[in-house]
Amino acid sequence: MYGHRIFTALAVTAAAWAAACGIPPLEPSSFEEGLMKRAREIHKRALTVDTHVDISPANFTAERNYTQRLDTQLNLPKMFEGGLDAVFFSVFVGQTREAQNPEAFKPSGYERAYKAAVEKFDAIHRLAEQIVPDQIELAPTAAEVRRIHAAGKKVALIGVENGYSIGEEIGRVKEFYDRGARYMSLSHNGHSQLADSHTGERDGWKWNGLSPLGKQAIAEMNRVGLMIDVSHASKASMMQSVALSKAPVIASHSAARALCDVSRNMDDEQLLALKKNGGVIQVFAYRSFIKTQKPDSPERAAAVAALRKEVGLPEPAAGQREPGRNALVKLTPALRANYDKKLAEIDKRYPGDPSATVKDFADHIDYAVKLIGIDHVGIASDFEGGGGVTGWDDAGETFSVTLELVRRGYTEEQIAKLWGGNLLRVMDEVQRIARELQKRN
């Protein structure tokens, strides 16, 4: 895995020596050409699975859908171009704080959330079963993922982000499984009726981990074969989930806190607990959770703020320095060209700390692999939910991840595990354990 790094170091030394001797630089080496060719072959053979992409039902209609080249980070044309084979579409429903919405944790609030979740379930089924069944198919099992991929189609899977939408009805865990969900997280950005969120580090705790209902949900998810997703959960919620679960758990889109110290990421103790449980962390390419950028200078900050105001961009979300991609794509072509031109001028006059890149993303993969082993690490994007880094900012650029992994010396077998093999192993194991639990009862 580290042989290529040694080779690179020697190559840099040789290049420096040649320059000192006045020898002209060489054309791109045959080594580089061979590396690129090998990476493309590996990428073509790999079954690439992205475990978290957000959706809007508005993009799943007969008139507007993912068969078209929409201004979205992911759609079918981009999946085919980038070689992204399978995607967990997210049934995400958020909740507001009780102080903002007193109905949030009452029957009316839960019913609103449930209906929003069902709308997204229906949208995903509509894409795969009615709009374009010849290009993408919904997979209920890991075996079906492999079959659909072998048939040349793209694979749709479903993950529920935030168990808030089940309300206080544990029976909806089975209902969501029957609707196609194959993982569910217990919270999002804010405590739910099931578990504390990572945001408790800022806001304080509600349950000090899992709620009594959340513990029931863990048992029911094990029983029906729904993978438990600990992304967005507090550390206590995550550790309690691992301790209670009879099956491996996943973190569908998280990163290493040791490299980027934010509550949203997982520390070493959590990663080691995940390994012991047999689970997997799907490292995600989300700029502000991959790299802690240095603050802008006052001059740069003022210039960028003025530019945002000039073109009508909103202020970045809390904890981020750049406008969201969804805001940028809403600009007219003329405004976007003006924004890009003036931002380049600002970059030249007041250089800032560069945004996270595929290399920064791969650093998190490296870190997790070294700490907990190649069998417990996977890949996610969080496209349409704020995800994306320079080099992998939409599905069409997916090959760049494989290329970076090959550059770092990962073998084809290791890359296959990272790109989906580990996740599918956990999916198989969770469903096997569910069958055993059902037999006992």
Kindly report, residue by residue over 142-199, the tens digit of the pLDDT.
999 999 999 999 999 999 999 999 999 999 999 999 999 999 999 999 999 999 999 9
Weakest-pLDDT range from 18-22, 54-58, 392-396:
18-22
Spell out a b/e string for 110-128, using b for 16 or more CB atoms within 10 Å of the CB, else e: bebbbeebbebbebbbbbb
Amino acid at 266: M
Right CATH number for 31-293+354-440 from 3.40.190.10, 3.20.20.140, 3.40.630.30, 3.40.50.880?
Answer: 3.20.20.140
Q: Taking a C-beta distance cutoff of 8 angstroms, is the pair 266, 257 a contact? A: yes
How far is it, in rounded angstroms, from Cα 75 to Cα 64? 11
pLDDT score at 97: 66
Reading phi first (left if > 0) and then psi (alpha if -120 to 50, else beta), residue 59 is in: alpha
99-119 tens-digit pLDDT: 567 888 999 999 999 999 999
Q: How many CB atoms lie within 10 A of CB 134?
A: 7
pLDDT score at 288: 93
Q: Taking a C-beta distance cutoff of 8 angstroms, is the pair 190, 162 a contact? A: no
pLDDT score at 153: 98
- pTM equals 0.89
> How many CA atoms, within 13 angstroms, populate the side-chain half-sphere of residue 27?
2
**Residue 113: which H helix or E strand, with range?**
helix 107-126
